[in-house]
Structure 1
Amino acid sequence: MTTSAPTTPAHYIWQHPDWPKLGFDAQALAHDLNQARLQQGRLLGLLDAIGLTEAQEITRELWVQEAVATAAIEGEQLDLAAVRSSVAYRLGLADASTGDRHVDGLVEVMQDATDGFASVLDGDRLCRWQSALFPGGTSGLRRIAVGRWRDHADPMQIVSGRPGREVVHYTAPASSRVAGEMARFLAWFEATRPASQRAASASPDVPATTLNGLARAAVAHLWFESIHPFEDGNGRLGRAIVDMALAQDVGAPARLFGMSRQLLVSRGAYYDALSQAQSGPPEGALDVTPWVQWFVQAFTRSCILSQAAVKQALDKAAFRQRMSGLALNARQIKVLMRLLEAGSSELGGGFLGGMTADKYGKISATSKATATRDLAELLQHGLLRVEGVGKATRYAVNVAGWNQPVTR
């Protein structure tokens, strides 16, 4: 890898002579930014209209989904129960955490990025975030450098494919450049935060400037990922920086926008957009408008998805209220709560295959005859709806607008 300015046209964004002056066309982005603000406002308006209890439950569930998603983007499957336990502890809803240091570390990083949005993001803080992601200093079975910038002599590359047939998608700046690159990035990040939040100690070498908060989050993510300062964990940390930038934008802890969930849904397009932006133009201005546009559009979709999640949480609360006014037995309550927990298939949930008398019997440990009677009572109460006949009969919670996979 070369660490000096190339004599041939730039192949990677950091080799461009204007790096790291990442610019974008604000006029070309105006429509997308307006749409993003519209959906963001609708989401925040929904939350303002509900009570504290419901808002707390929604915050918890969306945080859980974000933690699972940001790990899943990297191909890592977290234990859902452990994530829920860790999030509940961080929100003061449980006396003890899960005990899973790996899960706790990720949740702690997410909390610090959002709750601590007003504090300066510096190298020490980022190194502590990275250490939290890898308790014991290992990634899987591999030992890695934790709590410091990468320092290995080998190129830091993003590759795919089988051994011997690897495809190199991106090569980051050499390790010897990381400290300087990160110093410039962190100075920019501080200088571009909302004026009311800027620290008095901000670097005088970087003039303060005002950027659209969503565009700033997009640029910050691209810049950080292009440096790739750590031996591992860069993706999760880059998305934590996005969360911090979005919290700074609204001036409050923000875990509701669901960017990681949206990036997971469109993971292929996410990687493609990042890769195209990191390729860098061979000549001319270092314009990252296409990347910012893609990011802003993804943010808009994430807000719409979060609106649906908020509405689903309200539907669940209303359904539980209906249940509380009826004389249901423990079996019926258990099955209804399982169906509620599965949610609507429109948000990637739903009780797979629908509820049947056989499944009811297994879940509640009762006979098929009792299961059939229980289900008939729930139908009479209007708590369930039914599709199909005979062996094809399937049941789902009767919530208006919920799409359940009752026929699969």
Structure 2
Amino acid sequence: MAVYIHERHNWTEFQWEDEKILNLLSEVRHLQGKLIGKVELLGFELKDEANLETLIQDVVQSSEIEGESLNPEQVRSSIATRLGLDNSGLVNSDRHIDGVVEMMIDATQNADKTISAERLFSWHGALFPTGRSGLYKIDVAQWRTGDMQVLSGGIGREVVHFEAPKAEKITEEMNEFISWFNTDSAIDPVLKAAIVHLWFVTIHPFDDGNGRIARALTDMQLSKADGVNQRFYSMSAQIKQERKGYYTILEKTQKGDSDITNWIVWFLNCLKESIIASNTIIDKVVRKHHFWMQNNVHISNDRQRLILNKLMDNFEGNLTSSKWAKITKVSADTALRDITDLVNKGVLLRTASGGRSTNYVLNW
């Protein structure tokens, strides 16, 4: 008796109940259309900024799903450099972050939305530039050569959630997947994105990085559905928020048959929430634009511009003169002069606390 979906005969002949998904699919498609229409009104500069913010969120959150924390500032710098955007004053990024960014940009920004084994190998190589996943050496830029189980629990208490197809089947399985991905079909592009994600993570063709590559492929397919080469909503960020539900529905589907209705419903609901959440990014971009329109004339140096941009992004804790000095690598006196200049011009506000705890906030 089959235990996992991939052990069933013709397992990729997926089926679903139209009456359970059509209304939800229509709602998602409507929201996509409204979002694309909204960003078209922003103009080129703000569209680029919204795309940048979304890609940052996508890269950071996709890695966090796997328990890996990336420096958002390094991610921003890496993406801005590769998109040819202004990244003056930003930190340098390491090659591991550059690899994740290169994969995501190749998946979503390039006009060629087809895949091949070589393209997937290049993504995998970019994710693991040292040939290791943490402390462990892995097969890089090639299909896995060993068995693969998805486990949880400590040593001696492991729970097996899923066993992927045997290594000797990977080439055949991936050839079928790649051919299907590259072939135009009558399936709605959004539904195809749901199938792409499920199909790839079920094959689990690599030693590591399967989740991140699955989400990159999902974004590639969703960019086809949107009809644009920019991203304005982050499916990865929403999956991160719903991580427990994601793994639950994935396990149930992979232990079921080829009726994937419940998976599609979950995927569409997750996608719907990610599109709704995109308004936060767009509103932030517009707000930031208006701030610079009003205050650009008041900026005296690059240090001020750097800190103000940080305050509008993801600044940790409160802004103090000592933190300003540390970030900009200047003396305490210079930091205080920079701050006082912005306070006098009404760009920053001094909070009620005094003494060493004095801190400053943006005057939005």
Determine the structure 2 residue equivalent to 1:318. 290
| CA offset digits 1:283-302 (Å, max 9, x no partner) | xxx21111111111111111
Of the three residues 59, 65, 69, the one matched with 2:57 is 65
Residue 175 of structure 1: how far off its partner (Å): 0.7
Is residue 243–residue 254 contact of structure 1 (8 Å, CA) maintained in 2? Answer: no
Residue 263 of structure 1: how far off its partner (Å): 1.3
Greater fraction of residues in helix: 2
Residue 369 of structure 1: how far off its partner (Å): 9.6
Is residue 246–residue 254 contact of structure 1 (8 Å, CA) maintained in 2? Answer: no
- Between the two proteins, the alignment pairs up a number of residues equal to 358
Is residue 223–residue 229 contact of structure 2 (8 Å, CA) maintained in 1? Answer: yes
Q: 2: CA distance between counterparts of 1:139 and 1:117?
A: 30
Q: 2: CA distance between counterparts of 1:151 and 1:74?
A: 22
Residue 386 of structure 1: how far off its partner (Å): 8.3
Residue 59 of structure 1: how far off its partner (Å): 1.6
Q: 2: CA distance between counterparts of 1:247 and 1:178?
A: 27
Unaligned runs of 5+ in 1: 1-7, 194-208, 343-349, 400-408
Of the three residues 297, 309, 322, the one matched with 2:281 is 309
Q: 1: CA distance between counterparts of 2:105 and 2:132?
A: 22
Of the three residues 198, 221, 224, the one matched with 1:248 is 224
Of the three residues 180, 194, 211, the one matched with 1:218 is 194
Q: 2: CA distance between counterparts of 1:138 and 1:132?
A: 12
Change (3 A) 1:123 1:372: closer
| CA offset digits 1:292-320 (Å, max 9, x no partner) | 11111111111122221011111011012
Report the residue type matching 1:100 in the other structure: D
Residue pairs, 1:147-166, within 5 angstroms: 147-152=141-146, 155-166=147-158
Percent identity, aligned pairs only, is: 36
**TM-score under structure 2 length normalisation:** 0.86
| CA offset digits 1:219-261 (Å, max 9, x no partner) | 1100110010111111111111101111222333132221111
Report the residue type matching 1:232 in the other structure: D
Is residue 299–residue 305 contact of structure 2 (8 Å, CA) maintained in 1? Answer: no
Q: 2: CA distance between counterparts of 1:129 and 1:149?
A: 12
Change (3 A) 1:327 1:369: closer
Is residue 70–residue 236 contact of structure 1 (8 Å, CA) maintained in 2? Answer: yes
Change (3 A) 1:95 1:273: same
Residue 358 of structure 1: how far off its partner (Å): 8.4
Q: 1: CA distance between counterparts of 2:243 and 2:54?
A: 19
Rg (Cα) greater in structure: 1
| CA offset digits 1:31-57 (Å, max 9, x no partner) | 211221222122212211112122222
1:182 matched to 2:158? The reply is no
Residue 72 of structure 1: how far off its partner (Å): 1.3
Is residue 85–residue 94 contact of structure 1 (8 Å, CA) maintained in 2? Answer: no
| CA offset digits 1:187-240 (Å, max 9, x no partner) | 22122x3xxxxxxxxxxxxxxx31111111011100110010111111111111
Residue pairs, 1:139-288, within 5 angstroms: 139-152=133-146, 155-191=147-183, 193=184, 209-281=185-257, 286-288=258-260
Unaligned runs of 5+ in 2: none
Change (3 A) 1:128 1:393: closer
Determine the structure 2 residue equivalent to 1:12. 4
**TM-score under structure 1 length normalisation:** 0.77
Is residue 71–residue 78 contact of structure 1 (8 Å, CA) maintained in 2? Answer: yes
Is residue 385–residue 396 contact of structure 1 (8 Å, CA) maintained in 2? Answer: yes
User: SS of the residue aligned with 1:135?
Assistant: coil
Q: 2: CA distance between counterparts of 1:304 and 1:84?
A: 23
